[in-house]
């Protein structure tokens, strides 16, 4: 039976697992959508759909009641994530494989741990450091196991990782004054606003867009955006940012599996071993005393 802190944190851990599943499969969905749509068309449609899906919830709850300073903080967060992160990610995915992109994203926990330590001036515990180190070792195995050559797309993914890391540390504090639901609704709204001008400059020919691409965008909007954002923001309001970030290292495991099954990207023995090590480190971080 689950006891103590593990039982109290179980909803947050389940939410993190859902986020990992949705974000992991989003790399494959994005690659499918990008075969027929421009990067910013995918992003605008994704966030516009997500915002429309959240409108009934917004109508029931009412507009978030924040001070001008509070709205400024939320806007700054939204510029980083979804703004910078998803722009760099979607552009990077045009130049690199779904496998490589997801593996680079696994550097987020290490960066979050470092930023959290600097922000709080508290050195992380041995177990946290060991968990991140083991997770990073798994990433090395994954990359060395056939992830593909490094290219400009990989560099863009590193920029996305930096944006996401700052977002996670800042959001962990922001959720003390802004509810996860309100933050998610504002992220969807600002995400659609950010990407609208780029979408209007290159509106797709809808008669030339196959059903598979539209289905991929729908999946991105429903699961990888609304579902994943709600779940992750909820988790960030319940567990430390460094703990939540460590779960992100399981995203490459899901992404590599999805890319192999759907896109036919190869998976080597090293990648499978690395995936197992990553999952083990994430499990260890969620145990009592982590």
- Total domains, the chain: 1
Q: What is the pLDDT at residue 1?
A: 44
Q: What is the pLDDT at residue 184?
A: 87
Q: How confident is the model at residue 2 (pLDDT cuts 50, 70, 90)?
A: very low
> In this structure, is residue 133 part of a structural domain?
no
Cα separations in angstroms, 173 against 113, 115, 169:
15, 13, 7
> In this structure, is residue 132 part of a structural domain?
no
Mean pLDDT of the chain: 84
The range of the structural domain enclosing residue 46 comes to 16-124+149-253
**Mean pLDDT on 67-94:** 91
Among 85-94, 205-214, 228-237, 279-288, the minimum mean pLDDT is found in: 279-288
Residue whose entry in the numeric block shows the structure tokens 């974000």: 23
Question: Is the pLDDT confidence value at 124 over 80?
Answer: no
Q: What is the pLDDT at residue 255?
A: 87
Q: What is the pLDDT at residue 147?
A: 53
**Mean pLDDT on 221-237:** 91
> In this structure, is residue 131 part of a structural domain?
no
CB atoms within 10 A of CB 125: 12
Q: What is the pLDDT at residue 84?
A: 95
Q: What is the pLDDT at residue 75?
A: 93
Length of the chain: 290
> In this structure, is residue 290 part of a structural domain?
no
> In this structure, is residue 271 part of a structural domain?
no
For residue range 146-181, list pLDDT tens digits in order: 555 667 888 898 899 899 989 888 887 787 778 888
> In this structure, is residue 178 part of a structural domain?
yes
Q: What is the pLDDT at residue 40?
A: 95
> In this structure, is residue 204 part of a structural domain?
yes
């Amino acid at each position: 039976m689950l006891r103590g802190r593990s039982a109290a944190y179980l909803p947050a851990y389940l939410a993190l697992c859902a986020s990992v599943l949705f974000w992991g499969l989003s790399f494959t969905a994005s690659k499918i959508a990008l075969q027929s749509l421009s990067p910013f068309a995918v992003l605008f449609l994704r966030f516009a759909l997500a915002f429309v899906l959240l409108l009934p919830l917004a109508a029931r709850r009412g507009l978030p009641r924040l001070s001008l300073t509070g709205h400024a903080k939320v806007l700054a967060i939204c510029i980083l994530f979804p703004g910078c992160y998803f722009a760099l990610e979607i552009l990077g995915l045009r130049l690199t494989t779904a496998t490589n992109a997801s593996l680079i994203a696994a550097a987020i926990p290490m960066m979050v741990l470092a930023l959290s330590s600097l922000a709080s001036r508290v050195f992380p515990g041995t177990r946290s450091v060991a968990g991140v180190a083991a997770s990073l070792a798994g990433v090395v195995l994954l990359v060395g196991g056939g992830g593909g050559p490094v290219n400009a797309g990989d560099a863009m993914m590193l920029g996305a990782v930096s944006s996401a890391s700052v977002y996670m540390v800042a959001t962990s504090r922001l959720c003390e004054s802004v509810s996860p639901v309100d933050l998610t609704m504002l992220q969807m709204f600002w995400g659609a606003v950010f990407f609208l001008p780029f979408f209007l400059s290159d509106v797709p020919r809808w008669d030339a867009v196959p059903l598979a691409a539209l289905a991929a965008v729908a999946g991105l909007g429903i699961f990888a955006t609304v579902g994943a954002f709600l779940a992750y923001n909820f988790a960030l309001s319940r567990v430390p940012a460094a703990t939540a970030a460590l779960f992100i290292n399981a995203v490459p495991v899901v992404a590599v599996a999805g890319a192999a099954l759907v896109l036919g990207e190869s998976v080597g023995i090293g990648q499978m071993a690395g995936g197992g090590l990553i999952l083990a480190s994430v499990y260890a971080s969620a145990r009592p005393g982590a």
